[in-house]
Amino acid sequence: MNRRNAMTALAVLVLAVIADALLSRVQGDGPKGAEAAAVWWLLAGWVLLLWFVLGRLAQLRGRVLGLLAPALFGLAMLYLWEIAVVGWDVPRVLLPAPHAVGEALAARWGALRADFRQTAVSVVAGYCAGCGAGFGVALLADRYRLLQRGLLPLAGLAGAVPIVGIAPIMVMWFGFDWQSKAAVAAIVTFFPMLVNTLAGLASVDAMHRDLMRTYGAGHLATLLKLRLPSALPFVFNALKINSTLALISAIVAEFFGSPIYGLGFRISAEVARMNVDVVWAAIALAALAGSVFYGLIALVERAMTFWHASYRS
Amino acid sequence: MRTEKPSWAQSVGPVALVAAVLIVVWYAAAVWLNAPQVIERFDGIGNPWGARELVDATWSMERPVLPAPHQIVADWWASVFGADLDSPRSLVYHAGVTLSSTILGFALGLALGVLIAIGVVHSRVLDRGLLPWIIASQTIPILAIAPMVVVVLGSLGYPPLVSKAVISMYLCFFPVAVGMVKGLRSPEVLQLDLMRTWSATPAQRLVKLRLPAAVPFLFASARIAIATSLIGAIVGELPTGAQAGLGARLLSGSYFGQTIQIWSALLMASLLGVLLVAAVGAVERLVARWMGAAA
Amino acid sequence: MSDAAVQAKDLSLVFQTADAPVTALSAIDLTIARGEFVSFIGPSGCGKTTLMRAIADLERPTSGSLTVNGVSPEQARLDRAYGYVFQAAALYPWRNVLRNVMLPLEIMGLRERERRTRAAKQLELVGLTGFERKFPWQLSGGMQQRVSIARALAFEPKLLLMDEPFGALDEITRDHLNEQLLRLWERTGKTVVFVTHSISEAVFLSNRIVVMSPRPGRIIEIINCDLPTGRGLDVRESVAFAEIAHRVRAALRSGHSYED
């Protein structure tokens, strides 16, 4: 019954969208320049309709069907954004309409692609270096208690410190090119990886450790067979957080100085020229890349930690 | 084997040891990194020089590649205690500017996060429709928009404090929202059933059960949120034209090649971050004591 | 005396806690012969688990002597002389049943084929043939515990140490597993040291019951239990059973186990 209702609701929505499209065709260029009141009514009507439809869709379960609600929500936000911006004639400088962003993306595709490649190199290099180093130091600290007790509080402190501030210094040391951005990303991703890996290695309960003792297993065997697999969920947690952090750090590091390409450079340059739609296009690109990166890691996580309690409800 | 709790000496000792090692390494690195420039200068002058002179020189350059720790501390001290509190040469002044937008952004982000969490827990629509987007928003490099927000809001007449606070708010609300959702949903089914047997209204359930249960989650997120808020405030100061704040100081140091200034601004920012997180931790301990947690 | 499985002489163990030292074991004298099924019974804090952990070299005694198979507990552990079963199954959720049972053998360094044969044999012993590819969360609590027992038997040790292995299960499953354990013991002739706080379980399974009491942990009485071999759960209704259970209860009472 629920499914039926949801499908009906979706169908109603689709019809409404088509009707709207036809209507704006008839009126020519949509409700542009219409009175503010009319736009309010249009928005209100859409919100009510969407609430109704989403309420039905929200009851759907299942991997694919469960995505309908957020997908619709996102599309709805875009649509309402478009209506509001066009209807109220919002200045392009303040908030461009989605179609303007799309146009900018298409128009400057060549430059944006080069920017993306530049930033991507520093993100991936920094991410691998930082996560690898964090993991390695965690293994060392796990082996040598003294190192762990000394390092962990300092690593905790580092979480409170705005590490991105180190960007200008990296630029000074490694120059303007991707290496300095990678260095920043590496340092930023190092600490979450260190802290999480150590937490994961420590998450094994006493019972399991005792059992390993009764098997006469040494430190290495215990590490490989028990503690590393147990630590995987924590490690992946850090890997996911770090994917976002690496991207953001690289982009912000580019604010401090970059050759003439890079997403961060593009953003700060176009902001200075008030080409806000290009800025939004660059951000959309970065957001897409970030989501894909995160999604890939989540997929690998599911494959490697399928056994974890969080996957069974 | 039973492990005993480490004594005070066992906790502080290793930290002090690691910190000491780091400082020694720093001094050595300063010599190594600054040496080329110093050697060039010495050769230019022509006087004979030995290791002693080299080391001394590398630790007292005006624009070193890597300043020695004592140089940084000296500059920091001078900027904090040696300058007028409202002059742009005082780090305290800059820290104050950054701090004000950090705290405002944090407060706003906290409020927004809590409101969103309450909404998500009580409305199916928001839960299924909005929550995935909130989680996805983490992959969007919002910090990247920071300059734009500042410039745009600035051109609309809002003072930089507001635009920086908006950036900080956007950064903070996420950990708070996610943490609060987990916290508001943390009571066991058992407890919720009990509430039902008392015919409690959703509002009563929220205030008497869910919110108190969510307090530990709130504080855990608040610690992350305030550190993030600080980063947001600093990055918000990066666009050209910003004159005040720690971010601006970092930027100007970078433009004029004043390495020591950069490092002492970083030191100030780090101290600020540590202080803020410690403050949140202190409030947490007070609240926990008040709520009857074990000592 | 070196053919005794476990021998404790004047064994004491004192824990240094934050408040004050706790005497978990005080002057324990005990000899367990090969092939015996001995239960330790007593209230919480009487030292039964501590004694077993000392045998397993998971705790170090502070004074007295303790030998396992004639050597020190540490040597016995390195020789892989015993299998340990905890109250919880403690299986690895990322390994299937077969690989869980193979774990100790991997650590021992056996080859793949040898591991498989041995693991399959132990699973057959506990009646779980056919479940090799299942993951722990797909099994019931009782079955998980049986896998845990199979795993403890993987080394084919002569000594089995079991710390309230059925404590977390419901009574019906518990009874079923008690019967299975008894059959297994009769079939293999291993020495079993079993910690429990169920009087009927101790009387049903053991041929000797060691009654302990706390503050400080010590042995109150050792009771012989000579119920017929090949017994089933029905023996619980017999007069002999009730008599022995009564003696255990009286010993516990004299050790102040029923007081605050």
The ipTM of this complex is 0.75
In chain A, residues with a C-beta closer than 8 Å to the C-beta of C108 are 215-216
Contact yes or no for B1 and C18 at CB 8 A: no
For chain B, the average pLDDT equals: 83
| Cα distance between residue C107 and residue C104, in whole Å | 5
Mean pLDDT over A153-181 rounds to: 81
φ and ψ at residue C24, rounded to 5 degrees: -75, -35
Between strands C63-68 and C82-85, the pairing is: unpaired
pLDDT-derived band at B118 (thresholds 50, 70, 90) equals very high
Instruction: Write out pLDDT tens, residues A46-72.
Output: 777 777 777 777 776 666 666 777 777
Contact yes or no for A225 and C107 at CB 8 A: yes
Question: Is the dihedral angle over the CA atoms C159, C146, A312, B213 positive or is it negative?
Answer: negative
pLDDT-derived band at C30 (thresholds 50, 70, 90) equals very high
Q: How many CB pairs under 8 A join A and C?
A: 49
pLDDT-derived band at A185 (thresholds 50, 70, 90) equals very high
In chain C, residues with a C-beta closer than 8 Å to the C-beta of B5 are 18
Q: Which of B125, B133, B152 sits opposite A94 (nearest CB)?
A: B152
Chains sharing 3 or more CB pairs under 8 A with chain C: A, B
Nearest Cα of chain B lies from the Cα of C58 at a distance, in angstroms, of 6
In chain C, residues with a C-beta closer than 8 Å to the C-beta of B7 are none
In chain A, % helix, strand, coil (3-state, to 5) comes to 80, 0, 20
Nearest CA in chain C to B2: C59
What pLDDT is recorded for position B200?
81
Fold type of domain B91-290: MetI-like fold (1.10.3720)
| Cα distance between residue A165 and residue B262, in whole Å | 9
Q: Which of B15, B143, B254 sits opposite A150 (nearest CB)?
A: B15
User: For residue A129, is pLDDT > 50?
Assistant: yes
With left for phi above 0 and alpha for psi between -120 and 50, is residue B241 left, alpha or beta?
A: left
List the single best residue of B11, B140, B230, B240 to mutate versus A (max A Cβ within 10 A): B140
Nearest CA in chain C to A308: C93
| Cα distance between residue A141 and residue B52, in whole Å | 36
- Residues 40 through 69 of chain C touching chain B, CB cutoff 8 Å: 58-60
Nearest Cα of chain C lies from the Cα of A307 at a distance, in angstroms, of 5
Instruction: Write out pLDDT tens, residues C50-97.
Output: 999 999 999 999 999 999 999 999 999 888 889 999 888 888 888 899
B8 vs C: CB within 8 A: no
Nearest Cα of chain C lies from the Cα of A214 at a distance, in angstroms, of 6
User: What is the domain partition of chain A in residue ranges?
Assistant: 2-90, 107-311
In chain A, residues with a C-beta closer than 8 Å to the C-beta of B133 are 70, 73-74, 77
Nearest Cα of chain C lies from the Cα of A294 at a distance, in angstroms, of 23
| Cα distance between residue A51 and residue B131, in whole Å | 15
Fold type of domain A107-311: MetI-like fold (1.10.3720)
Alpha helices in chain B (DSSP H): 8-45, 51-58, 69-81, 91-122, 124-125, 131-136, 146-155, 160-184, 189-197, 202-205, 211-236, 246-255, 259-290
Percent of chain B at pLDDT exceeding 70: 92
Contact yes or no for A229 and C106 at CB 8 A: no
Nearest Cα of chain C lies from the Cα of A148 at a distance, in angstroms, of 24
Percent of chain B at pLDDT exceeding 90: 12
B5 vs C: CB within 8 A: yes
Contact yes or no for B5 and C15 at CB 8 A: no
What is the pTM (predicted TM-score) of this model?
A: 0.77
φ and ψ at residue C19, rounded to 5 degrees: -80, -65
User: What is the domain partition of chain B in residue ranges?
Assistant: 13-40, 91-290
φ and ψ at residue B160, rounded to 5 degrees: -55, -30
pLDDT-derived band at A313 (thresholds 50, 70, 90) equals very low
Half-sphere exposure (Cβ direction) of C23: Cα atoms closer than 13 Å:
13
Q: Which of A211, A217, A308 sits opposite C90 (nearest CB)?
A: A211
Q: Which of C90, C93, C103 sits opposite A207 (nearest CB)?
A: C90
